[in-house]
Structure 1
């Protein structure tokens, strides 16, 4: 027991019995008053008190002269018969030795012993023997921790979100329990073409595949399955075995493969792609389990075609022309475009041509047209009363844009270009409005009569 514990018990139990607690390791206390006679010069007090644990180990033995009996059963006489004080001193000494230790001194000592015994029992009760395994390395230790979390904290074992602790943190501990900590390892896994990051507590690639539930039988694994996985993790490419059917030249071929691409699976089936041959799915795609891949045998040729590019028309107002009159100031010109087409025959079937190239050989030229805005006079003296509708019906069938087969005469009244321009017309007669054509026909009648229309002129008066 430490000195502080002795002082605590001394303060508690010494004051309870009315006197200070006696330090067992210090000087002996003052002897009881009744054992000391201050008036007796021959009585010199000798302290015989010892602590309880010393008294038990070192019994007090009386002096020989005080305990030697005579043959009559009485104490023998002292060796110095002339001394009267010696027997009385010896008696007092025997009384001092034989007097029991007071109860108030034994009680604190007994309590100290009981406290030490109880503390030792509690100390032994809280101590636990635990087997701790950290990432596969076991060791046995003793601990006062109450649960798994406290044990790991005491041992300086840090765990993260991807680590596994069994039993779970917070679980109560008992002596003989086993606690296992397995650290998580990152694995950059590409499984059948799909990339993702997973975590595993396995120490080897084979163990990681089993833990992740990956069917490894017949699979391609990018590294040795016995390779150990460090805490830094690793990159792993796994392709499981799949069933794929290849349709080529009218015949199916079913194979088991762990190929990375469609092209590889086609080659494993013993099929060769030539020229423009391809497959029904992208050749660099990943073949899925149960997938059917069709080989397309392709032949093709190139076709070149020239196509016309239509020209645009620009119309501008002209106040010198009568309303309804349009004059082409600049004729438009169509452009030319040369297109190249790829024509394919897939498995014997001609496909729709696909344009692969286009170039402009000649640019189109815009046509410019003047549009009249001047009001058209409808009356010509001396000609308004005639049957102009009958003449038009006879000459052109009543069509303002009519042109004879030779291209010389045009319009309602079949003007030639020279006559039309002499009458003040602009452009071609068939491009003018019906009102303008009738007005200029009236002027021609006033000038020349019906002679310009030798076959139909009689209709004017009919």
Structure 2
């Protein structure tokens, strides 16, 4: 190769080394990349008149080779025969210096290598904290990447609220690792009427069938107000369940057992083929709920009505009278009983007569009040000419000493067996046996003063003993 050609190639090589175009960073135009400073803001020194291009900075992170020190080359002499040591040797030496880069290039590459290593370590920690988990909320699954360390952190990051009746599995405090699955089931209120008993329960099931299984309700043969496949929304559901029960009926001398989910005893009777006629009824209210194992007796009732007239007792009205001696009562108006008409129901239950039941009452005649005067006047006890006689002996002989005594004919009464006419003639009121004992003795003394012992022909002699 001629000298002119070598000089021209060296000149082109020097131009490429000084002005080589590097690939610009992401988002920077080519012209701007050529005019910008090298990455990281480092200053690029010159070495032996050599200016590195941006291509040199693209080797960050590559192994750096430190050249061994070389002995200084002896002065080259031009050989006319083209042997080493001429201009070709000088060009090769220049290329070796360029490839080694020298100490300044080493100092420039070391900080950049450290930065790359730091970034690589941070990226590794970032990758380790990230984990893939599966989150199923109310039956809807999705897989996601998260940095959460526990279930509650995951739910908070995903804005999934949970309440007291909601189910979270595993629990909110459980740790979280890659590949874990978290399930959230929302609680749903159910207004449940189970065999006549109403209450509110909560379930995380989304269908009636799932709720029944979760609540432990036996659904085989049961009546359901909603189908088992019906969905339960977040707002809840009203559900009536009547399980199958065993009920025994005693009717017309026969016993029959029925399995039923009827709502009332009357419905169960119809299912059993037992009918009620007229006044027939059951031992429990026909519209009550039939319970499992219950025995119900059917009562065949026949009956009539009976009307009876019953007396109404009269009342007694007493007034004080100071013209009568104390203890004396005089009937001014005789009382009269009233009457009422009463209707009774007479029933026969399964052939046995029952106690009559009063179903109606009507007053036919009002009672008349009896009016009585009660004496308040002080009663005298002394009668001249008769006080010294044995009046107790006479009373014992006539009546046995009983003030209220009355003979079998009803004519004579009291201690001394007065008749009504004599008694009234002596100033007495009413019947003698109704008067006090002291008044009867006083009247007897007055009778003795006027007639002697003749009113008592058999017992009068007792007065003198």
Residue-pair matches, total: 412
Matched with 1:111 is 114
- The question of 1:283 aligning with 2:286 is answered yes
CA distance in 2, matches of 1:428, 1:55: 152
1:267 paired to 2:270: yes
The match for 2:441 is 438
1:28 aligns with 2:31: no
Corresponding position: 1:379 with 2:382:
yes
In structure 1, what is the Cα distance between the partners aligned to 2:430 and 2:460? 25
For the residue of structure 2 that corresponds to 1:100, the secondary structure is helix
Kept after mapping to 2: 8 A contact 1:423/1:443: yes
Please, which runs of 5 or more residues in structure 2 have no aligned partner? 1-36, 65-75
* Offset of residue 458 of structure 1: 4.7
Which residue does 1:155 correspond to in 2? 158
Match of 1:305 in 2: 308
With structure 2 as the length reference, what TM-score do the two structures score?
A: 0.76
Shift of 1:159: 1.5
- Asked if 2 retains the 8 angstrom alpha-carbon contact of 1:333 and 1:367, the reply is yes
Shift of 1:110: 3.4
Q: Would you say 1:53 and 2:50 are equivalent positions? A: no
Q: Please identify, of 430-439 and 298-307, the stretch whose mean Cα deviation from structure 2 is larger.
A: 298-307
TM-score by structure 1 length? 0.76
Answer whether contact 1:302 1:343 (CA < 8 A) is retained. yes
Partner of 1:208: 211
Is this contact kept in 2: 1:52–1:106, CA < 8 A?
no
After superposing the two structures, state which structure 1 stretch, 329-338 or 254-263, moved more: 329-338
- Contact 1:242 / 1:257 at 8 angstroms: preserved in 2? yes
Taking structure 1 as reference, are residues 182 and 56 closer, same or farther at Cα in structure 2, changes over 3 Å only?
Answer: closer
**2:127 maps to which residue?**
124
Which 10-residue stretch deviates more, 215-224 or 101-110? 101-110
In structure 1, the residue matched to 2:87 is: 76
**Shift in CA distance, 53/307, structure 1 to aligned 2, threshold 3 Å:** farther
Deviation at 1:48, TM superposition (A): 5.2
Structure 1 unmatched runs, 5+ = 1-21, 37-44, 60-66, 78-89
Which of these residues, 293, 297, 301, is aligned with residue 296 of structure 2?
Answer: 293
The 1-side partners of 2:362 and 2:77 are apart by 149
Seen in structure 2, the aligned counterparts of structure 1 residues 317 and 69 have a Cα distance that, compared at 3 Å, is: farther
Tell me how far 1:415 sits from its aligned partner: 3.2
Matches within 5 A, 1:226-241: 226-241=229-244
Deviations 1:205-257 (A, max 9, x none): 22222222222222222222222222222222222222222221111122222
What is the aligned-residue RMSD (CA, Å)?
A: 3.7
Equivalent of residue 176 in structure 2, options 154, 173, 176: 173
CA deviation vs aligned residue, 1:85-109 (integer Å, no higher than 9, x gap): xxxxx99xx79x9442387765543
Q: 1:324 aligns with which of 324, 327, 332?
A: 327
Partner of 1:342: 345
Partners of 1:459 and 1:69 in 2: how far apart?
Answer: 204
User: Cα gap change, 1:99/1:352 in structure 2, threshold over 3 Å: closer, same or farther?
Assistant: same
Instruction: Report deviation, 1:155.
Output: 0.9
Greater mean deviation of Cα atoms: 247-256 or 420-429: 420-429
